Amino acid sequence: MSRLRLCFASFMFVSAVAATGCPSSTTAVPVTPKPVPVVVKLDRAAVRAKLAERRQEMFQRFLAYREGRIYPINELPGGGFRHVWVDNYGNLCAAATLISGDWGRDASAAIAQDNVETKIADVMSGPIEDWILMSGLAKHELVAIQVPGWQGNDPIVDPVPVEPSARDQEITRLYQIYVDVERQLTSLWDESLDEATDALMKHPALARQLLRDEVAGPGRFATPPVG
C-alpha cells in the first residue's frame, strides 16, 4: 500500500472513532455500586412489650375515670342513647379522657369540633386511628369503653331532693357498665394484647415510633401555641 493510501486509511479510522464518540482505549471505568438501605426487621416481642406498658397505663387511666364519676351529660336534641365526646360543661367521655392523657385536654376536646358524637368504632384513619393502634388496647375494647350516654324525658335536675336525680341515676348506670368493662379487659388481657400487637405490626412506621417511646400526636387537633 502506498504511503498516501496508508495515511488516508488512518485518517478515516480516527474520524470514525471521533464521530461515534467511542474511546480509543478499552480500559473499563470502575462503577461504584449504590448502597442498599438496610431494613431492620421489627421484633414482634419488643413491640408487644411496649404495647403491654401502654395497655397497663390505659387501664389505670380508665379506672381513674370510672372512679371519678364525672361523666359527660347527654343533652343532645332528641334524647335517647347518644355518644357525647365532650359536653357543654367540659366533661370528656371515657375514650376522650384516655386520649387526653397523651395529647392534653384541649387537643382531645378539639375532636368534638368535627363531631361531638365522634365514635371510636367509626374511626378508620388519621391521628385518632394512629393513637388507637399505639394504645395497647384492641379497638373493640375502646369501643366498649366509650359508652353512650342516655337522656330520658326527665331533665337532669333534682326534681325532689330526697330522691336520686336523673343525673345520679345516669352516673350509676354508667358506673355499673364500666365495672363490666373492667372485667372484659382483665379476662382477655393477653388475647387482646396479641390482637393489638398484630394490628400495630401492620404499620411498621408507627411500631418503630413506639419502640422509640413516642406516641402518635394530635396532628390537626393540636391547639395553637399561645403568644
What is the average per-residue pLDDT within 156-176?
74
CB-based burial of residue 225 (10 Å sphere; 0-12 exposed, 13-18 middle, 19+ buried)?
A: exposed
Looking at residue 37, what is its pLDDT? 58
User: Percent of the chain scored above 70 by pLDDT?
Assistant: 77
What is the average per-residue pLDDT within 60-81?
94
What is the average per-residue pLDDT within 44-66?
98
What is the chain's Cα-based Rg?
32
What is the average per-residue pLDDT within 112-131?
97
Looking at residue 96, what is its pLDDT? 98
Res. 30: pLDDT tops 50: yes
Looking at residue 7, what is its pLDDT? 46
What is the average per-residue pLDDT within 46-75?
97
**For 150, which DSSP code?**
E
What is the average per-residue pLDDT within 20-39?
60
Looking at residue 25, what is its pLDDT? 53
What are the domain boundaries of the chain? 44-217
What is the average per-residue pLDDT within 177-188?
98
**For 163, which DSSP code?**
S
What is the average per-residue pLDDT within 187-192?
98
Grid cell listed for 195: 390482637
Looking at residue 33, what is its pLDDT? 72
Res. 201: pLDDT tops 50: yes
pLDDT band at 214 (very low <50, low <70, confident <90, very high): very high
What is the average per-residue pLDDT within 37-47?
82
Looking at residue 38, what is its pLDDT? 55
Q: What is the mean pLDDT of the chain?
A: 85
- Helices and strands in the chain: count of H runs, count of E runs: 9, 2
Looking at residue 224, what is its pLDDT? 64
**Per-state percent for the chain, helix, strand, coil, to nearest 5:** 55, 5, 40
Q: Which residue carries 388519621 as its cell?
A: 126
User: Which one has a higher pLDDT value, 8 or 140?
Assistant: 140
Cβ atoms of 184 and 209 within 8 Å: the answer is: no
